[in-house]
Every structure is written in structure tokens, then in C-alpha cells.
Amino acid sequence: MKKQSIYWTILLLMGVLSACSDFLDKEYDASLSEEKVFGNQELTRQFLSNIYTNLPDGIAPFGDDQWTGASRDCMTDNATSFWGLHYYNKINLDAYTASDHPLLGFWNTDFTGIRKCNVFLTNAKPHIVGNAQLAGDDNKLYDRYCAEAKLLRAIFHFDLVCWFGNAPVLGENPDGSPMVMDMNNQEQMNLVRQPAAEVLQWIADQCDEIKDKLPFRYENENLNWGRVNGAAAYALKSRALLYRASALNNPANDKNAWSAAAQAAKDFIAKNAAQSRAYGLYDDYQKCFYDNPTYNNEIILSRSVWNTNRIDLQLLPPGFTGSVSGAGRTNPTQNFVDCYEMSNGKRIDEDGSGYNENNPYANRDPRFEATVFHQGSVWGRADQGEERSIDVHFNSADNQGDDYRGSMGGTYTGYYLKKFVNPSLILKSPQNFPHAWIIFRYAEILLNAAEAINEADGPAQAYQYVNQVRRRVDMPDYAGMTQEQFRQRIRNERRVELSFEDHRFFDLRRWKAYDGVTAQNELNKPRYNQLLNMYGVQVTLSGAQPVYVFTGAPGTQGNDMDLRVFNNPKNYYFPIPSNEVKRAPNLGQNPGWDVAGE
């Protein structure tokens, strides 16, 4: 076969991304021919390793100051962004079209990843890779590599469904050979998309095919950390079937779909319990997101490791300065803050909660302090003279806190995002830290189990799973609820536990939470239940005492940055890129996204 342009692949940017394991520590040379690559064991391995660069990554966007340098939860009720140029703000207004929508790169990233997988599966050779029965991780290595590629392919299909709904399934041809599509070939790519529910079931079936062909967990994680393993296959099946059972993909609420999702989560938990080194909840919730991820037994799969301080600086309030400064561009909303229970397990508006609007941050779920910077939060290295309290008060332009506004950042809501920020950061002599974007972690599996079991059979057997998550932070157990009451508590628990990990955007959509919701008709709901009206806190000082006024995000009345527009059913999915629909009209366009004149 001639040298081809199939190696359109994204190269590893090793100057920026540093992997903790050896398997991602070499660039793949895109100029090499298939004969050269797949005729060499090391180059074959590098080709497979390069496929991992297409995995979902929530850290990379923080490197873009102008357009994406904030959490993608800014596209939900959890947060907004001070920085008006961020794409998220305009997406919240449904102000883009299929021709100019800026976040459609997932389409090409996922399809490129799928194609890489199928190229690998077509060309990898057992006599080159080796497929002997060996002790340890390299047993039947060719089979393991092929299982990795199939699992990665399933992950890319899942990501496509999340963003775009119905999707083509690019698995095997009728003769069993992998479907290697030329993305520039209009005829080949002119495919009919399969219903999202069917694609999710195909993903689950793929997981079944390979989940026990991979080590559930690698013996040598120093070498293989970051590679997909059997646990990742079990985890993907759990999530795929949970999405398959949810209202967006299961409008008839078929209980069999929920039972299948429940079983998938329980299968992971049972398989994990049988391991000599089992996954489990990290002891400290806050440290789970900034301690060295390779020492974290909660992480099932992550998108390698970024050695960087970019995410820390993009989140840190702007009043913290040295040779580097915080930008504070992700601002949690009051809607999100209010969803945290009191430490006694009651909502802030429940009788007996003990909530005090004059001291609103006292006695809350400990995950609140681990996640949100607020007035009075203490941060900074005391041994470096950088420790102080967060100050977001605003009495007037000449009487405002250090963290209310900055030249390049600030808060619209009175809050900043603390999760992921390493407290060891020294602003006058900044250092880098290992940050991993978590794709699957054990807490999610427990919450998947709780949700699916509750929907299939009611809460009795579901409490145990969510209560494990709550016990880590010493929150009271749940018990004695109706199915609907527990449903709402599970949904809130996901919002709190998995916040700013790219779950909320998809959870709200799979639950069809926007159905029947308008900005006007939700005004009578608690702030934590409002999806379209965003709120913040205005902090003023009376003497030295803070005064809190909870209202529309301070200083933004009339500013469309904090509006939320959800056109139903249009905004349940992103559009298929307009140029792709032109090239391959059989793909069709998602409802509401047709571009006039095209």
C-alpha cells in the first residue's frame, strides 16, 4: 500500500502535555507509511498510543484565554463566565448556527479517533506485536491492543451521541473487517445516522465483547497508567446504559432499560470487589482533584496528565497576584451554591435546616468548601506570605474587594471555582502540577447504580450506593423516601459530587429537564431548581461585617451574558456541522438547526 494521508492524526504536543506513563511519551510520526508503521512493533504501539489524544479532555480548553478558558459547566445552571468572549456565553443564548457554532470540533475529533481505531484494527499484525501467553499485563498483547482500540472506538461513539444524538456506527463491515472510512470521501461518509438509543446499546455490546479481554486493572500502572483497561469497559457500559435508559433516549420509560443499567453498575461493583487492588473513594474529596492523579485509586480512566498551572490560574480569583495572577473566569452561580445541603442533610429552605442568610456558608456539605471560593474563604501559602481571605465585596467603585473585579477577570456571581486549584501554588514563583481530566471515577459508578436501581425497583436497594458517596464527607445517610423524592436527591447528589467534570450538561439533557421550562414559569421555584434564571450574591460591608443580598448576578442586569435560552427540542443537541451535512446529506440535521438557504 502506498504512503497515504491517513496519518492526519493530531501529534502529541509533548512540550505541553506530559504523560506520567511511558506509553504516551513519544510523538507519532505522521509521515510514515502503513508498511513502516505496522511492520514495526514500537511504531505500532505508538500509533495505538496516539489514538488516546482524541479522548475527551476538559483541561485543554483552559489553555485558551480568549474563547474557552473556563469550565464547560458555564453552559449549565452551575456557572457563568466573567469573560464576555467565552463561547459558552453565546451558546447560552442559542445565538449560533450550524455554520458558525464554535464547539463542533467534537465531531471531527471523535470521527478521527474512530478512524484511527479502525486503521489500527485493520493493519496491526499479531506476528509483529506478539501474542504469546505471558504473565502480567502483556499477556496476549495483540489481543489486548485490539481490545484497547475497540474500547477507544466505543468511547468516541459515546461522545458523538452525547453532543450530537443520532450517529453512524462505524464498527465492522458485513465481512467482519473494520470500517475504514475516508473522511474526505463524500460517497463513503454519506451515511444515515442510527438512533441514539441503538448506538448506546451497540456501545454497551462492544464493552461486553472486550471487557474481560483487558486486565481489569494493570499490574504495572507506572507503565500503563492512562491506558484503557477492563474497568474502563465496565464503566463505559454503565454510563452508556444509564443514558440509554434516560428520558431523552427512552421516552416510554421502559423499565427493562433501567434494569439493564442497574445491572451494569452492579457488575462493575462486583467485579471490582473481587480485585486484590480495588478502585474506591479517595479519602479526601478536595484532594481527589489536585493530588497526583497517578496515586488516586478513585480514577478509573483519565485523559493522561497535564503538567501545568493553567487550570489553577484560570480559576483562582484575580486578586491573587505575583509573577502570575488569577483570572477567575469560572463563576459558580447562586443556583449551584444553594443546591448544597446543610451538614445535617437538609436543604437550605427546609424546616430545621439551620440555614442563616446572614452567615450563609456555615455548616454546609463539606464539598461546598472544597468546590467554591466565596467571601471569607481562606487561600494562599502562609509560608510564602500569600495567605488571605477572599474578598468580593462591592460598596462602590472606590470601595471594593481585591477579588471583585480584575483587568482580565472577575466575578459576576460573587463566587469562583476552587475545585482543581492546587493550594501549593506559589504566585511569586509559580510551579506546575499534574492535573488529569477524569473520564471515569468510582463515585460515578455508585451514583449510576443508585439512579438506575431507584428507577427500576424503587429506593430500598439504592440508598446504599449514594450513601457511600455521602459518608466520605460525613453527610447523613438517605432513607425513608419515595421514589420521586429519592430521584430528586440522587440528581442533586450528582450535581454536587460530579460538578465541573462535564456531567451536568449531559445529565440535564438526558433527564429532559428543560421540558416545559420557561424563564417566567420557573420563578416560583427555589433558586437551586431554576435552569434559565441565573442568580448571584452581592456582598457589601457594613463596618467590617459582610452583608449578603441574593439576587440576579450582581452588576449584570441587562447583560445577556447571564441569560439562559433553551429552545426545545433544538438545544438538547448541538448541530451536525453544516459543511458535513452539505457533503453528506444522508446525515441529516438535528431539529431546529437547519440553516436558511442551505
pLDDT in tens, 186-205: 778 889 999 999 999 999 99
Parallel, antiparallel, or unpaired for β 306-308 and 433-435? Answer: antiparallel
Bridge partners (DSSP) of residue 301 are 440
> Apex CA 482: angle with CA 479 and CA 487, to 5°?
90
What pLDDT is attached to residue 293?
93
Q: Could you list the residue range(s) of the whole structural domain that residue 6 is in?
A: 1-54+104-214
Give pLDDT, residue 410: 87
Distance CA 231, CA 216 (A): 5
Dump pLDDT digits (tens) for 289-303: 999 999 899 999 999
In terms of domains, do 202 and 83 share one?
Answer: no
Do 375 and 326 lie in one domain? The reply is: yes
Say yes or no to pLDDT of 96 above 60.
yes
Dihedral (Cα; 509, 514, 519, 522), 10-degree rounding: -120
- Do 257 and 329 sit in the same domain of this protein? no
Arithmetic mean of pLDDT, 346-366: 98
Q: Alpha helices, DSSP H only, in 300-379?
A: 310-315, 334-338, 366-371
Cβ proximity of 455 and 251 under 8 Å? no
Asked if residue 579 belongs to a domain, the reply is no
What are the tens digits of pLDDT across the range 253-268? 999 999 999 999 999 9
Average pLDDT of the residues in 59-87: 92
Q: Could you tell me the end-to-end alpha-carbon distance of the chain, in angstroms, rounded to an integer?
A: 39
Name the average pLDDT for the chain: 91
pLDDT confidence band for 553 (50 / 70 / 90): low
Interatomic CA distance for residues 150 and 124, integer angstroms? 13
Same domain? For 417 and 296 the reply is no
> Which of the listed residues 186, 214, 242 is the one where a domain comes to its end?
214
- For the cut 90, the answer to whether the pLDDT of residue 472 exceeds it is yes
User: All 3 cell numbers of residue 439?
Assistant: 473520564
Stronger pLDDT, 42 or 14, i.e. the higher one:
42
Q: What is the largest CA-CA distance in the chain?
A: 78
Query: Could you tell me if residue 590 is inside a domain?
Result: no
**pLDDT score of 556 more than 60:** no
DSSP 435: E
- For residue 323, the 8-state DSSP code is S
- Flag whether 592 is in a domain: no
Do 98 and 128 lie in one domain? The reply is no
> pLDDT tens digit string along 206-228?
999 999 999 999 999 989 999 99
Question: Is the per-residue pLDDT at 139 higher than 60?
Answer: yes
| Structural domains in the chain (count) | 3
Same domain, 31 and 178: yes
Question: Predicted confidence band at 552 (pLDDT cuts at 50, 70, 90)?
Answer: confident
pLDDT tens by residue, 148-198: 999 999 999 999 999 999 999 999 999 999 999 877 777 788 899 999 999
Sequence-ordered list of residues with C-beta below 8 angstroms from that of 158, at least 6 positions apart, any chain: 200, 203, 236, 239, 240
Torsion, CA 243, CA 246, CA 252, CA 256, rounded to 10: 70
**Rounded to whole angstroms, how far apart are CA atoms 131 and 144?**
9
Choose among 183, 239, 235, 255: nearest CA to 442: 235
**For the purposes of burial, counting CB atoms within 10 Å of the CB of 321, is it exposed (0-12), middle (13-18) or buried (19 or more)?**
middle
Clarify whether residues 24 and 144 are in a common domain.
yes
* The three three-digit cell numbers of residue 381, written as one number: 501559602
Tell me if the bond preceding 554 is cis, omega within 30° of 0: no
**Which of 69, 57, 60, 561 shows the shortest CA–CA distance to 318?**
69
Q: How far apart are CA 466 and CA 449, in angstroms?
A: 8
How far apart are the C-alpha atoms of 78 and 62, rounded to whole Å?
17
Most confident of 14-28, 72-86, 172-186: 72-86
Q: Which helix (H) or strand (E) holds 400?
A: strand 399-400
pLDDT bucket at 407, cuts 50 / 70 / 90: low
Confidence band for 47, pLDDT divided at 50, 70 and 90: very high
Please, are residues 232 and 301 in contact by the beta-carbon 8 Å criterion? yes
Last residue of a domain, one of 192, 214, 236: 214
Find, among 124, 109, 102, 132, the residue nearest to 47 by Cα. Answer: 124
CB contact at 8 A, 140 and 179: no
Judged against a pLDDT cut of 90, whether residue 137 lies above it is answered with yes
Strands (E), 487-584: 535-542, 545-552
The whole-number average pLDDT for the span 337-361 is: 98
251 part of a folded domain: yes
What is the identity of the amino acid at 187? E
User: Which of 6-10, 323-327, 486-490, 529-533 shows the lowest mean pLDDT across its residues?
Assistant: 6-10
CB 203 within 8 A of CB 110: no
Any domain includes 538: yes
- Residue 153: closest CA among 127, 137, 129, 172: 172
Query: Average pLDDT, stretch 422-433?
Result: 96
CATH number of the domain to which 186 belongs: 1.25.40.890
Residues 196, 114 within the same domain: yes
What's the rounded Cα separation, in Å, for the pair 513 and 579? Answer: 30
Mean pLDDT score, 352-371: 98
Domain-embedded: residue 427: no
Element (H, E) at 389: strand 388-389
Cα separation, 291 vs 314, in Å, equals: 18
